[in-house]
Amino acid sequence: MWKSFFIAAGIFACVLGVELLVIDSAVVLPFDGQGGPRVVVAPDWAPWTLISAGAITLLNFGSLPLKAAPQPPKFH
């Protein structure tokens, strides 16, 4: 279960980082319609940080040991 969580988090970080490289800003609208739109601008370092953190997480995923099969109990 932990392996699947970390691979999903790594993929999410990489995809979000690539998206931030492509767009300059995002406009967020409130669900209830109250208030105006909010413009979100990511700092210049955010895309590269997300891509590198996601890539490191995915590379570490490949080095995790496989789940060992349960051994039968030994009787003496």
Amino acid of residue 19 = E
b/e code 23-43 from CB counts within 10 Å (16+ = b): eeeeeeeeeeeeeeeeeeebe
- pTM of the complete model: 0.72
Residue with tokens 């931030």: 20
* Tens digits of residue pLDDT in 4-26: 898 999 999 999 999 999 998 99
Amino acid of residue 48 = W
User: Taking the CB of residue 54, how many other CB atoms lie within 10 A of it?
Assistant: 20
* Tens digits of residue pLDDT in 26-59: 999 998 878 899 999 999 999 999 999 999 999 9
SS3 32: coil
